[in-house]
């Protein structure tokens, strides 16, 4: 990137300090814990489904949509706070908060409290990725960032695998040993598992609170001045993107007629789109209404309300950046960066659709019990998630050295271009052993794209913009991925009488779009990377 070249090469050859490795260990653990608390719902889904009397579509809402709305919305102000406040303190507070809400699921007796718990976890986890990535990029030189992002991928995989192994074992142990003995204390096994998953957050929050904050931008030679009012700026971001409140901020910032027209016409288009999609999905897979806070709500209406809300938030975000931070607007709104975020979102829809329902698929398709499924699939997912980034991280760094940013795009294209074929092959397996063998190949491919594409996101912006860049990616990927993938698999499963294999295969329909986008990005990625600093300066950045 231009800023790196101009800052000089010594920092790029620097070794990673002990403090850097310690920081990586803690923030990677935070990422792993976020996946543990987020993903444990997938292995507990059959028990929750039976206990609360809900369907796969409703589980898709809990696993994806309800979580996604608040995760995406609050990642924006929290990402802005990452760029201006003490990141270690912020991460500690958020980890403690989401752990408390994860534990709240243990007391759920219906859909409503589970939904409240999920939205609380979503709010807290909104700072995890922006904070972790920002700290890593201030402790690791550019030449080692692929390896650092691979480590993040490893702990994410461990959190994912542990969520299933721990969740399945804890739930079945409680039901078989404690509840069966008459000492359930009012908890089902799945509720006890939520309590266990929430516990480690207290210790990790304490360690992060005591960790030294790294100097922002120093390793790239682009130091950033202290933000005098980080909380005020964060609140302004939240107000600027939240529907209804955004109009007050447009008025306060003297937005012109063009900005108001874009906002109102954009809202009208979003409303029409969501109204059409609600009708389409209601016809495709009719579902009984959900009882939420005494109200009967069609799950499809809830789904598309959340999607529409997220789309309007994205529109508001870019309008707010244009009015308040033109350098960030000019840098983040580059074709390569936005298209790579779309790729990440589409691929995330596959990943979450796969991982959200695979445990239920194994239980239904092959008659496996919950504990066995959680242990076998969880450990396999963790091991494979470890192997993929360990290969992809150094490979990404090697290709970057040989081909620059294009090397990372080529690795992402190779991984995601062939993954749909392996997905179809995997979920057509006739028995558990065949499934595990095929899934091993499929999972390795699905993990190869993370280190290169994440490294590209943060090398395409200035250091002070990494928090808001991460948050922008989160809301786009959450809307396309977590908000759509599990829901899509759920409604296809309900439509097909519970055939989760075909439902999971169907999510790979986005594969060709991913490949086409990446081929286009290859034609311009170097140009967009080289122009980061000139675009920022032209928009008023004082560097």
Q: How confident is the model at residue 404 (pLDDT cuts 50, 70, 90)?
A: confident
Q: Most confidently modeled of 267-281, 400-414, 491-505?
A: 267-281
Q: How confident is the model at residue 229 (pLDDT cuts 50, 70, 90)?
A: confident
- Spatial CA neighbour of 409 closest among 476, 330, 344: 344
Quote the radius of gyration of the chain (alpha carbons, Å): 22
The confidence score (pLDDT) of residue 276 equals 95
Percent of the chain with pLDDT over 90: 12
Q: Indicate the range of 143-147, 281-285, 334-338 predicted with least confidence.
A: 143-147
- φ/ψ of 292, rounded to 5, equals -125, 115
Count CA atoms closer than 13 A to 81's CA, side-chain side. Answer: 23
Whether pLDDT at 6 is above 50? no
Report yes or no: 242 and 475 within 8 Å, Cβ to Cβ.
no
512 Cβ neighbours under 8 A, 6+ residues apart: none
The confidence score (pLDDT) of residue 542 equals 75
Percent of the chain with pLDDT over 70: 89
Report yes or no: 141 and 373 within 8 Å, Cβ to Cβ.
no
pLDDT digits (tens, 9 = 90+) for 246-273: 999 899 888 889 999 999 999 999 999 9
pLDDT digits (tens, 9 = 90+) for 80-89: 888 888 888 9
The confidence score (pLDDT) of residue 258 equals 92
Q: Where in the chain is the domain with CATH 1.20.1250.20?
A: 2-216+325-538
- Spatial CA neighbour of 373 closest among 154, 106, 37, 46: 46
Q: What is the dihedral of CA 475, 479, 480, 485, to 10 degrees?
A: 130
- Spatial CA neighbour of 59 closest among 308, 273, 361, 378: 361
pLDDT digits (tens, 9 = 90+) for 38-59: 778 777 877 887 777 776 666 7
CA distances 188 to 20, 50, 52, 55, 508, Å, are 42, 12, 12, 19, 35
- Spatial CA neighbour of 443 closest among 492, 388, 376: 388
Q: What is the mean pLDDT of the chain?
A: 81
Burial of 497 (0-12, 13-18, 19+ CB in 10 A): exposed
Whether pLDDT at 222 is above 70? no
Buried b (16+ CB within 10 A) or exposed e, 141-168: bbbbbbbbbbbbbbbbbbbbbbbbbbbb
pLDDT digits (tens, 9 = 90+) for 297-334: 777 887 888 888 888 988 998 888 888 888 888 888 88
> SS3 sequence, 263-297?
HHHHHHHHHHHHHHHHHHHHHHCCCCCEEECCEEE
Angle between helices 18-52 and 189-198 (to 10 degrees): 160
Whether pLDDT at 16 is above 80? no
Whether pLDDT at 14 is above 70? no
User: Which tokens is 190 given?
Assistant: 């799945």
The confidence score (pLDDT) of residue 181 equals 53
* 215 against 428, higher pLDDT: 428
Please, which contacts does 233-237 make with residues 24 or more away whose CB atoms are closer than 8 Å? 233/80, 233/81, 233/84, 234/77, 234/78, 234/80, 234/81, 234/84, 234/85, 235/77, 236/320, 236/324, 237/76, 237/77, 237/79, 237/80, 237/317, 237/320, 237/468
Whether pLDDT at 518 is above 90? yes
Report yes or no: 100 and 120 within 8 Å, Cβ to Cβ.
yes
Residues 235-255, mean pLDDT to the nearest whole number:
87
The confidence score (pLDDT) of residue 184 equals 55
Whether pLDDT at 12 is above 60? no
pTM: 0.71
CATH fold of the domain at 2-216+325-538: Growth Hormone; Chain: A; (1.20.1250)
DSSP state of 334: -
Whether pLDDT at 3 is above 50? no
Q: How confident is the model at residue 425 (pLDDT cuts 50, 70, 90)?
A: very high
- φ/ψ of 297, rounded to 5, equals -125, 130
Measured between its terminal Cα atoms, the distance across the chain in Å is: 14
The confidence score (pLDDT) of residue 341 equals 92
pLDDT digits (tens, 9 = 90+) for 107-162: 877 777 888 888 888 888 888 878 887 888 788 777 777 777 777 777 877 787 77
């Amino acid at each position: 990137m231009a800023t790196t070249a101009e800052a000089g090469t010594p920092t790029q050859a620097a070794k990673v300090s002990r403090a850097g490795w310690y920081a990586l260990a803690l923030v990677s653990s935070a990422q792993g814990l976020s996946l543990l608390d987020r993903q444990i719902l997938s292995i507990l889904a059959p028990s929750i489904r039976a206990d609360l009397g809900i369907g796969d579509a409703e589980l898709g809402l809990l696993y994806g949509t309800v979580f996604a709305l608040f995760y995406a919305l609050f990642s924006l102000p929290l990402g802005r706070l990452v760029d201006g406040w003490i990141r270690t303190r912020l991460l500690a507070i958020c980890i403690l908060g989401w752990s408390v809400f994860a534990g709240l699921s243990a007391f759920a007796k219906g859909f409503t409290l589970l939904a409240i718990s999920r939205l609380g976890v979503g709010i807290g986890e909104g700072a995890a990725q922006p904070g972790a990535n920002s700290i890593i990029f201030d402790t690791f030189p550019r030449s080692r960032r692929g390896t650092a992002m691979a480590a993040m991928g490893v702990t994410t995989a461990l959190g994912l695998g542990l969520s299933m192994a721990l969740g399945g074992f804890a739930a079945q142990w409680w039901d078989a040993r404690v509840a069966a003995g008459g000492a359930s204390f009012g908890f089902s096994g799945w509720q006890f598992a939520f309590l266990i998953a929430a516990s480690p957050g207290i210790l990790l929050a304490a360690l992060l609170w005591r960790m030294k904050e790294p100097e922002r931008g120093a390793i790239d030679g682009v130091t950033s001045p202290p933000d005098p009012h980080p909380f005020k700026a964060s609140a302004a971001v939240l107000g600027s993107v939240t529907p209804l409140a955004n109009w007050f901020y447009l008025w306060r910032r003297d937005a012109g007629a063009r900005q108001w027209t874009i906002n109102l016409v954009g809202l009208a288009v979003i409303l029409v789109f969501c109204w059409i999609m609600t009708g389409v999905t209601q016809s495709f897979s009719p579902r009984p209404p959900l009882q939420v806070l005494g109200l009967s709500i069609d799950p499809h209406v809830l789904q598309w309300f959340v999607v529409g809300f997220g789309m309007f938030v994205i529109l508001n975000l870019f309008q707010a950046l244009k009015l308040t931070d033109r350098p960030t607007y000019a840098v983040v709104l580059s074709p390569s960066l936005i298209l790579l975020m779309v790729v990440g979102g589409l691929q995330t829809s596959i990943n979450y659709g796969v991982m959200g329902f695979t445990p239920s698929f194994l239980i239904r398709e092959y008659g496996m019990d919950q504990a066995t499924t959680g242990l076998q699939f969880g450990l396999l997912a963790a091991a494979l998630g470890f192997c993929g980034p360990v290969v992809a991280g150094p490979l990404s760094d090697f290709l970057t050295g040989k081909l620059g940013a294009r090397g990372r795009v080529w690795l992402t294209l190779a991984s995601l271009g062939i993954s749909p074929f392996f997905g179809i092959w995997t979920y057509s397996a006739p028995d558990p052993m065949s499934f595990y063998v095929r899934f091993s190949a499929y999972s390795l491919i699905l993990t190869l794209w993370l280190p290169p594409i994440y490294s590209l996101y943060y090398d395409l912006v200035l250091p002070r913009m990494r928090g808001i860049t991460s948050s922008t990616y989160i809301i786009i990927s959450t809307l396309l991925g977590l908000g759509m993938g599990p829901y899509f698999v759920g409604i296809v499963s309900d439509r097909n009488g519970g055939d989760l294999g075909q439902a999971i295969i169907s999510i790979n329909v986005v594969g060709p779009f991913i490949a086409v986008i990446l081929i286009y990005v290859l034609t311009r990625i170097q140009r967009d990377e080289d122009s980061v600093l000139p675009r920022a300066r032209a928009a008023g950045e004082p560097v």
